[in-house]
A and B are shown apart, each in its own frame.
Chain A
Amino acid sequence: MNKKNYEIVDSTEKLEKAIEKVRQAQKQFASFTQEQVDKIFLAAATAANKNRIPLAKLAVEETGMGIVEDKVIKNHYASEYIYNAYRNVKTCGIIEEDKASGLTKIAEPIGVIAAVIPTTNPTSTAIFKSLIALKTRNGIIISPHPRAKKSTIEAAKIVLEAAVAAGAPEGIISWIDVPSLEMTNLVMSEADIILATGGPGMVKAAYSSGKPAVGVGAGNTPAIIDESADITLSVNSIIHSKTFDNGMICASEQSTIVHRNVYNKVKAEFAARGCYFLTKSEKEKVGKTILINGALNAKIVGQSACRIAELAGVTVPEGTKILIGETSSTELSEEFAHEKLSPVLAMYKAEDIHDAFNKAEKLIADGGYGHTSSIYLDVITQQDKLEEFRSRMKTCRILVNTPSSQGGIGDIYNFRLTPSLTLGCGSWGGNSVSENVGVKHLLNIKTVAERRENMLWFRAPEKIYMKRGCLPTALDELKTIMDKKRAFIVTDKFLYENGFTKPITDKLDELGIQHSSFFDVAPDPTLACAKEGAAQISVFKPDVIIAVGGGSAMDAAKIMWVLYEHPEADFADMAMRFMDIRKRVYTFPKMGEKAYFVAIPTSAGTGSEVTPFAVITDESTGVKYPLADYELLPNMAIIDTDLHMSAPKGLTSASGIDAVTHALEAYASVMATDFTDGLALKALKIIFEYLPRAYDNGPNDPEAREKMANAATMAGMAFANAFLGVSHSLAHKLGAYHHIPHGIANALVIEDVLRFNAAETPAKMGTFPQYDHPHTLERYADVADYLGLGGKTPKDKLEKLIAAIRELRHKIGIKDTIADYGVTEKDFMATLDEMTENAFDDQCTGANPRYPLLSEIKQIYLNAYYGRTFTEKEYPKA
């Protein structure tokens, strides 16, 4: 064995030097490549493997515990299985790279590991910890137990020398030669992480050292044998496990709980395989020998069954494998209920499987929280029992039909369970790790995240038909292609009574599609109205719903559609605000399973025929539910100007200006795309040209009406995808509190909103990766350019745009201030704070390029009331 001399570490001064040496070596090691590390790992594992027999002999000789042949297996396992598990695992530098997502993970060593090694596995644990330290480019200082220091240090030396020969820095592994608690504590407080294996005192010391610790704790593994179990397999597995290294593996069975129906069979099998059942008086003698004042007698740990019997003054046949004490108590006053670290086993008779689970739970609570439990049963027929067992056991390893010593350490009886000689016990055992400890616990993983922009989308109804007089042709499809049979029309009273739905019903009659109508939709439709319509719908059972009218009729029809398809849907849930529609908490129910949805606007403005939005008011509480989800998108939109011709002036101007704000807000939105930009710009250009004509000439200017109809739907598609902004947030609440028509409300705030959004030093900008700096001024300048408004600087252009909007507004008869619309100052002021907060919280605020402060919203409201202009607060000059 080892001949090389090392400086003896027997004082804190020398230990400090040793730690410093390891730290220096580790600094060098940290720069090693994966290839270099893997070579070292292989060499170290090979050397440990070759020395498995001498190390096992030394451990038994020194500690007087355990069995040489089994320790050979442990050493073999610690070198071969650990090497095999991690031979191809990346632990250096980049370990994961996803270029498309811009995410890279980089593994870095932690630094210096303090490793506390127990007496029960003095060489195998030392090999295990040293190997995983080397694989992760960490340095390691080993604190052996004084009872096993020679063998632990010998194992460390073997690993170190092989590692250094393979290129590892000198001194990458070090150890304490003359252990004391003071030195162990010093190592733990100086190290970067602690791998503590030991009794509770050591684990507590590790956790109180102030350094991150991966500690493990006590086990008190119960093994249940169900009546469905294979008795021969169960009993022999338990014997195989319990006798392994004289029961010193912490996962080893401490008790077996046997179903009464197989108890005698199990007992007979144990007896036939060389286990000894203690008589009552013998059991008492053994109990008093193994446990003293509730603590395990050091003299019996890792001793053979015969030796323990001898110490207790009990005569057992030579070669007895296990001493079994039959008992019924799971209380701590029962010596056999404790962890025994020796081939001594408690055996309980369970009345039924539930009694067995209760006993197992109690034994785990007695002293094995978080460690290991095991059960033997027929997994094919007894899945329900297994399910109950695994849900009830507070253990981090639940082994099935498996010897727990060899099974718990992993990769021997199950090949996905990580091989390890340090078994985490989770928070139940006071640990930070609940799995089998491995290389991943000794790495710091750096995640490099590059900026990426969100994927955006363009969604629109599958069919949009447009042209004056296209309605009958478009409706043909309902029969010829879709073979619809029953249509339900939703509209308002005015349109119904004035024959707007007649061309539709005539066509449906011609197609042989039965129909029914609901024509009671009022402006700002209520939930009551929608429910009433939905009640009719559910009786009529249509396979197509046709919404005819302005925003109110189309929104009400969308809600009726929801209630028809999903009567259980909760509006408060559906209206829940989202930061990102793709990440919203609420999953909108699937629409279209009962009815196809056709939207036919009769005015140019809302765009509801192509948007995924609908607003409904609960008349009993006054709460407005703005719903937004692409499930609400109509399937077909028909833009037929024949239905628009007679719209009154007020409606033409209010809905026309609404479309202007849709386009402006969609263009300035942080979610704007080239797709929505094109639609928004073109819509604006059309509206600026044709809205005054449509307003002035009304039914006599079919061209202007058609252009406006198209522009409104285009603006609708723009904001259906890019969403809106604070103008709509403010307008929603202004409309709700002071009954100003929606389009007018937008018109009253939009000019100030443009100035507000155009600020180049906003208090806060919107959060969206695509929006990289406050650039909304340029966006508005683009609009001005497209409209051909002139102006030299972006600021000029903004002013021209604002002037053009004002001019348009004046042309179509929209007044300048909120006050002009008859809202008294007193009423306005009384609602201002509430409106401000609600506007801030409006769903539209999220896509605004400038994130508004409450005070700023309030200022815009006040400006709109008094006809003032938004001015920025002074910011410190650079």
Chain B
Amino acid sequence: MKLDNCISERINKKIFRDGNKCIKLFDEVYSKADVLNEALNHARVEETGLNIPELYEVTRIDGKWAIVSQFIEGEMLSDLIAANPKKYDEYMELFVDIQLDIQSKNCPLLSRLKDKMNRKIDLTELDETIKYDLHTRLDGMKKHNKLCHGDYTPSNFIITPDNTPYILDWAHATQGNASADAARTYLTFCLEGNIAGADKYLDLFCKKSATAKKYVQSWMPIVAASQSVKKKDKEKDILLSWVNVVDYE
């Protein structure tokens, strides 16, 4: 495998292209368990028949863990949106349709969204009172088993030249409540400062899935708490304001 064509660089990992292969190379700090879990999630989702890159191998290169999968030739939806603002509505329709298609799948061996969220709430630096309210809120949520991507954004969405959509990055996939996944996507838009895009997305998701907006909104304090674990300073204020809410009494 040749590692001379780095196509993307993120914190603690680099992504290379080698012909039709995509190599995700993790730094040494990355936990082995996380790498293997990401590969396993990916493999499990592949079995649902969704359009996702094929996983080839998990290997070590110069002591670093790497996941090797199919390279999907195409353009990121986020780039397409930026390049064709007039087609914004059309792209959002597709974006939501594919998310609903993902959520229509079951993947019974994936970890549960609720368990993951409970863990994340414990990992936050929020005060104990807020954590208590968040745990209580999460405990009252309906237990579903829909496939949730966990980081469903236009930058994880590739459209091939023949117009086939592919979804990448299944590291955060879980099974659980689809509204949590929608709240997560909404949060991502908001954190990028795209409030109008976030609202448009949410309206469309709720309309297409016949979900009450307040139901998706009820997940927002929880997804905000889980995001706060990443401790990004610029996100701190908005996340805290999302988290510090109360249920009516």
Contacts and interface: CB of A to CB of B under 8 A. Distances in A.
Interface of A: 118-120, 145-147, 179-181, 184-185, 197-205, 218-219, 248, 250, 292-299, 301, 332-333, 339, 341, 367
B241 interface: yes
Contacts of A218: 248-249
B218 A294 contact: yes
Contact of A181 (B135, B213, B218, B244): B135
Given A201-B139, A202-B140, A293-B220, A339 B241 contact: no
Given A145-B132, A146-B128, A332-B213, A185 B139 contact: yes
Contacts of A339: 248
B151 to A, nearest CB: 19
Contacts of A205: 136, 139-140
Given A200-B140, A295-B247, A146 B241 contact: no
B132 A199 contact: no
B218 A301 contact: no
29 contacts: A119-B246, A120-B249, A146-B129, A147-B129, A179-B132, A180-B132, A181-B132, A184-B136, A197-B249, A198-B249, A199-B133, A199-B247, A199-B249, A201-B136, A201-B139, A203-B140, A205-B136, A205-B140, A218-B249, A250-B248, A292-B241, A293-B217, A293-B245, A295-B217, A295-B220, A296-B248, A297-B246, A341-B249, A367-B248
B221 interface: yes
A295 B129 contact: no
A292 B247 contact: no
Interface string B158-201: 00000000000000000000000000000000000000000000
Given A146-B129, A332-B213, A200 B246 contact: no
| Chain B interface helix/strand/loop/mixed | helix
Nearest to A366: B214
Contacts of B137: 199, 201
Contact of B245 (A179, A181, A184, A297): A297
B38 to A, nearest CB: 30
B242 interface: yes
B159 to A, nearest CB: 31
Interface string B215-249: 00110110000000000000000000110111111
A205 B137 CA distance: 9
Indicate the size class of the contact surface on chain B: 20 to 34
A301 B132 contact: no
Given A181-B132, A200-B140, A292 B245 contact: yes
Nearest to B221: A295
A200 B247 contact: yes
B126 to A, nearest CB: 11
A298 B244 contact: yes
Interface of B: 128-130, 132-133, 135-140, 213-214, 217-218, 220-221, 241-242, 244-249
A711 to B, nearest CB: 77
Q: What are the 10 tightest A-B residue pairs by CB atom distance, in nearest-first order?
A: A199-B247, A201-B140, A295-B245, A294-B217, A204-B140, A181-B135, A218-B248, A201-B136, A293-B220, A146-B129
Nearest to A118: B249
Name which of B220, B244, B248 has the most chain A CB atoms within 10 A of its CB. B248
A274 to B, nearest CB: 26
Nearest to B219: A293
B244 A200 contact: no
A339 B128 CA distance: 25
A297 B241 contact: yes
Contacts of A296: 245-248
B1 to A, nearest CB: 45
Contacts of B214: 294, 332
A332 B130 CA distance: 25
B136 A199 contact: yes
Nearest to B202: A293
Nearest to B187: A293
A198 B246 CA distance: 10
B202 to A, nearest CB: 10
A147 to B, nearest CB: 5
Nearest to B137: A201
Given A179-B132, A292-B241, A295-B220, A204 B246 contact: no
Contacts of A200: 140, 247-248
B122 to A, nearest CB: 10
Contact of B246 (A179, A180, A199, A367): A199
Given A250-B249, A294-B214, 17 more contacts: A145-B129, A146-B129, A179-B132, A198-B249, A199-B248, A200-B140, A200-B248, A201-B138, A202-B136, A218-B248, A294-B217, A294-B218, A294-B220, A297-B241, A298-B244, A332-B213, A332-B214
